[in-house]
Amino acid sequence: MSVSTNNAYGKISISDLAIAKVASHTAMESYGIVEMVSRRFTDNLSVLLKKDGSGKGIKVTTSGNRIYVDVYVIIKYGVSISAVADSLKEAIKYKVEAFTGMIVNTVNVNVIGVKL
């Protein structure tokens, strides 16, 4: 799927993978995030077989011009999980909205583990 918009110059279409890469890059820049993890074992296999795993740990769903993002992360031990999750939600929402010009409806942060 992808999100689309029109302007005076024509149609703009942005793929879910492009949105996932922006969200993944934003997450890895965020304080307290150690690693992005895949949701399922089969996702891990597909990442191993691909050379580019930059969308790893991100699930993007689009509906009309709304974007829904699920993030799967491992957080650094000793940080406030709620503070890191809230910061991550705001950062991803801001960067994806700036990148696409569309509205990010929800960002769900799933903490899979904690690492020292």
In this prediction the pTM is 0.83
Q: How many Cα neighbours within 13 Å face the side chain of 83?
A: 6
| Residue 50: per-residue pLDDT | 57
SS3 37: coil
Collect the ranges in the chain with pLDDT lower than 70: 1, 39-54
Fold of 8-115: Alpha-Beta Plaits (3.30.70)
> Please, what is the angle between helix 16-29 and helix 81-100, to 10°?
140
In terms of Cα–Cα distance, which of 96, 63, 76, 65 is closest to 85? Answer: 76
